[in-house]
Amino acid sequence: MTSFAVAARLDDRRKWWPNADENEYYGEDEPHLECETPDGKDFSIPFGAVLDRVRARFPLIAMDQETVTGSPRISGTRIPLYMILRAIRHFGTVEGAAVEYDLTAAAVKDALAFAAAVLEEPVEQED
């Protein structure tokens, strides 16, 4: 039986890769799609490796399996970055999110910068 989380990820895959074969999905692990975009980025690099590379540049961001199941969070708190990003969207400002979660503006800006860095992390073709 497919869990809700797995089904949701499959729905996301169908949205972004409508011609992808559902049999490429192997259980609870993330789908490992190998594709290159026109700008030459190789997306077969494991997402965990990208997170580790980016996390090293942001000391205010922590990740460990014992806290918030490994989700990126503000160091010293249990506040995951996805909640901060949602607060920024809701309040419309970094300051609004900082007040909502009793954080410094610098911590909220680091959350934004971390998210942007993960999305922009250059990945090279591994030989």
Is 127 contained in some domain? no
pTM higher than the cut 0.75: no
Verify that 7 and 23 share a domain, yes or no: yes
| Tens of pLDDT, residues 53-81 | 898 999 999 999 899 988 999 999 999 99
The total of structural domains in the chain comes to: 2
34-53 tens-digit pLDDT: 444 555 566 677 888 888 88
pLDDT at 90 over 50: yes
Q: How far apart, in whole angstroms, are the C-alpha atoms of residue 61 and residue 98?
A: 15
Predicted pLDDT of residue 30: 43
Residues 54 and 21 placed together within one structural domain of the fold: no
As a whole number of angstroms, the longest Cα–Cα distance in the chain is 47
| Residue 113 lies in domain | 36-120
Q: Let me know whether 64 and 25 are in one domain.
A: no
For residue 124, give Cα distances in angstroms to 30, 39, 43, 58, 86: 20, 12, 9, 21, 31
